[in-house]
Every structure is written in C-alpha cells, then in structure tokens.
A = this chain, B = another copy of it.
Amino acid sequence: MKDSEHKDGTVGKALAILDEIAMAGRPLRLSDMLATSAYPKATLYRFLQTLTSQGMLAYDHERQTYRPGLRLVRLAHAAWKQSSLAPVARPYVDALSTELGETVHLAQLDNGQVLYVDKRNAVSPVEMFSQAGKIGPAYCTGVGKAMMAFLDAAELERLIPKQAFHAYTAHTITSADALRTELVAIRKAGIAFDREEHEPNIICIAAPILTPAGRVVGGLSVTSTTTRHSLGALESMKPALTGAATQIGKDAADWLFPEQDRTGI
C-alpha cells in the first residue's frame, strides 16, 4: 500500500520530516537524516530550509543541526487549550489529586498511542510540560487500556495493529489476543489496572472518560508504586476516580456538543 508514502502532497512530506526530527529526541544534521529519509539530498535540504525559515525548526549554526522550533510551542498552546480535555478536566483533576494525594494523569488517544495532556503530581508540585505532550504505548498503560476497552469494535481493530507489543517488563501484554481478553475484562469491570506492565514497580488504576452517550474521549488514572500501595489499595480509589471521570465526560460532552439529545420538552 502506498499509504503515508506519497499522500497529502508537499505538506505531508514536510510534516513527515518535522516528525522525524521531533522523534529523534536530539538535534539532527542533514547527513544524519539522509540515511533514514526517503528523499534525496537536495529535496531534504530544501524542506529543512523551508521549515527553518518558518520557525518550525531551529537551526544551530555551530553544529549544523536542526531541532524542533519554538513556533511549535506557540501553536501547541492553542491546540492544548482548544482541542484537549485538559481545560475542561482541570478542576476535577486538581480535586482528585488533592483528595488522594497521588499523581493523576489525564490522557487522550492520538493515532493509536496515549497522549498525556495533563498531570498533577501531589508530591513535587510542577513537572508539567515535561509530561503534557508526552506519548506512551496504549497496550501497556492503564489509561491506554481503559480507553481501548470502550472503543467500538471498528475503531479498536484499527488501533490494535498499531501496537508494538514490546515486552517492557515481565508483566507486559505481548499479543493482540491477550490484549483483547484483557479489554473484555476491563469493559466489564469499568476500570483498568497497570500491573507493572510498562515500568517495574509502577502501578496504576485507570478509568475511561466517556460522554454520556458512551463515546471515549479520554482516560484518567492514579499512579503509584508497589512500595507505597498494593493493587488492592488502588482499587479502593475506584469510586473517586470514576466519579471524576464521569463528571469530566459530562462536561466534555457539553463542551464538544452543546446541542445534546434533549428528550424532554
């Protein structure tokens, strides 16, 4: 299939290059990318010039390297404010974190992955942008599994092939079938656990954020460590967690679709 290969024309190609640089996690030079990238030298060069001139990339003269540019930060602020659940969820996330005294994560699905859009850490106050915008695997995080469990079949089948099923720990789910089984259980329970599936000693309880109509819009989780809590202790937080998730879902629906199915009158 010629999918991401040559679609969305010039703009798509430019954004693919942007992604490559962002994902690299370190400044790249032209020759670095030449090895990986599908484009010939002159073409790549021109794209880098354009993106730099646009402020989407920052160019380091001394080292001749390209990094993601600050214009992205500006644009993302708008995206976060207008398109993420964070502004709506903020009061509930605050309250939950204060009430439980634990770290709370707010996430949304983006392209088969978990995108963290907010975080409240009860212990050390701020650590935010360091977390907001961060992505994680869906198949081995609490929020990821909670959200997937409540997707309709068609959407779920689109996401499953995108999972890497890399075994981060001995507890990581490593097959699509095992994941499907787990998701059925989560759907029944209404809650998901991360049993040290992503990082050793890190456990969490997570709930999906659903609109009253049942559409998945995000996920909410409380994270702790095995030294501080047992899974059972986390389970006792379920009422507070699902309560907050329900409220956020309701507010989000009003925000997203102000005209609701008003059956009365």
Q: Could you tell me if A22 and B133 are in contact, using CB atoms closer than 8 angstroms?
A: no
Q: Does A42 contact B (CB under 8 A)?
A: no
Q: Does A80 contact B (CB under 8 A)?
A: yes
Q: Could you tell me if A50 and B8 are in contact, using CB atoms closer than 8 angstroms?
A: yes
Q: Does A35 contact B (CB under 8 A)?
A: no
**Chain A interface size range:** 35 or more
Q: Could you tell me if B77 and A134 are in contact, using CB atoms closer than 8 angstroms?
A: yes
Cα distance A70–B77 when bound, in Å? 10
A118 is contacted by which of B62, B129, B132 (Cβ under 8 Å)? B129
Cα distance A239–B115 when bound, in Å? 40
Q: Could you tell me if B83 and A68 are in contact, using CB atoms closer than 8 angstroms?
A: yes
Chain B contacts for A72, CB-based, 8 A: 72, 75-76, 78-79
| A80 CB → nearest B CB, Å | 5
Given A11-B50, A54-B8, answer yes or no on A115-B83 (Cβ-Cβ < 8 Å): no
Of A120-128, A156-164, A168-176, A241-249, the one contacting chain B is A120-128
Q: Which A residues between 1 and 22 are near B, CB-CB below 8 angstroms?
A: 7-12, 14-15, 18-19, 21-22
Q: Does A38 contact B (CB under 8 A)?
A: no
Q: Does A51 contact B (CB under 8 A)?
A: yes
Q: Which A residues between 75 and 129 are near B, CB-CB below 8 angstroms?
A: 75-84, 86-87, 108, 110-111, 115, 117-118, 120, 125-126, 128-129
Q: Does A190 contact B (CB under 8 A)?
A: no
Mask, A49-65, CB within 8 Å of B = 1, is 01101111010101000
